Amino acid sequence: MLDKISLATSRVAEHYFRLPVAGLQRPLWRERVYCYELYHQLRCILPGEPGLVLTGEPDKRSNPTFTRNHPIPDFIFHVPGSHQQNRAVMEVECRVDRRHLRKDLRTFRCLREKGYQQFILLLFGVQAVPWRLLSEVAEEFGMRLSQVSVLVHADVGSMASLQVMPAGARPNKALQPTAHKPRRA
């Protein structure tokens, strides 16, 4: 599945990767715009497995099996209507700060309790994974980073690549600064 996701990222056009905005000189990174195009590209690439469905931003507030938390994951790969074949959850992020990573890891934890087996964090518009911060947030939510596949889609036209925490990296090591940060409106 990761190879299909990486291929789909390479097909996200510039104006979906960085959104041109009237009145601004530089385009902005917008997660929702990127996700909508990524959804389209994934639907074009993914083979039809019997019953397996890619769903974008399913709101769990109306689902009676979610009593405490009501996550809205960016993408889920599942068989709708039961928790018997919950395959994967993917969160997409262009803002790699503590607040946004907490939301993503909270979603993973909540959906892990519903039987999801694979957790994918796709970072776009960033050059490096903030391993220390991600480790701290994962620990806060009782997740091991070995449970999360981290993909980085650094530039338009390139494929997202699977990242591996550097050997010997520990949560207390200093973060490597990213080459650029997405602008917020």
Q: What is the pTM of this model?
A: 0.84
pLDDT at 175: 37
pLDDT at 179: 41
Residue ranges of the chain with per-residue pLDDT less than 50? 172-185
Distance in angstroms (rounded) separating the CA atoms of residues 127 and 152: 7
pLDDT at 167: 75
pLDDT at 83: 64
Q: pLDDT tens across 35-76, in order?
A: 999 999 998 988 766 767 887 765 555 655 555 666 788 998
